[in-house]
Structure 1
Amino acid sequence: MIELKPAQIPDIPLLWSLRTRAVRQVCASHYSPEQIEVWSDSPPPESYLRLLATGCGLVAQEDGQLLGYAILDRQSGEVMALFVEPDQLGRGIGKRLMQGLEAIAEEEHFTRLYLYSSLNAADFYRAMGFVAVRDEPYAHPSGITLRSLYMERVRTTG
């Protein structure tokens, strides 16, 4: 059974390793090999320390195995990350993680969530109720620019 648990600071290396596999295997269908190389070789952002310390991250596990993770910035309502182990795609893990982020958003009384979606993930986010507002270059911390979609979802409450 898939369980959601809070992500902890010591989890960062495992989370980042999963993210790197996802970038290399899943994002490669929409970005150049050069972009994938720079993107996947970048280190974890320092913001992960703050975000995980304030309870913004979730991990999906099954029998102790990490299947995916997601991070929501409690200050802004931005979905900072949502990655699923590439060989586990299609099992509803991303949906479960997004539902977990929704619970955090509910605690914070957010009326809107937003994110910058990689091109390969846009259909997933559309299925989760997000709407593409604009095609926007994303200035990745590694120094490259990635084509992305700025997407929003208005939350219904009550």
Structure 2
Amino acid sequence: MMRGLKTLHLRMERHCENALAFARAMEKHPKIRKVRYPGLPDDPFHRRAQKYFNDFGGIVGLEIEGDLKKVQELVFQLKLCYFAVSLGDLDTLVQIPALMTHGKVPREEREKMGIMDGVIRVSVGVEHVEDIIGDFEQALEKL
């Protein structure tokens, strides 16, 4: 644990830096309906995050057009990023909240929370950010 704490600040800097760059790139992609990341100035939680946090974290929410089948197709086309049940690793991890963390929540309730079937949660890792972006771009092109 002590060994890991020595480099935590470096890993978190890269995690946050990559997440912001990834969110900005995904905002421009035509197949992405919405990007949720408090580091983006138009995010509804941007000001609050600025006030309370040193940075914006490494979790980015993406919403694509389509149902759960489309989301699964996208996730299974990723080559660098891993489909995982947990988040927070050096590698970029992806999960589908409608099937995983909120899988037992009725659809109407999930949607009230903003968790549509097309939402993907990405824990952006410390890989080269252009590789992460490229992986999502190649997967999105196959949809």
TM-score, structure 2 normalization: 0.30
Structure 1 or 2: larger strand share?
1
Choose between structure 1 and 2 for higher RCO, CA contacts under 8 A separated by at least 6 residues: 2
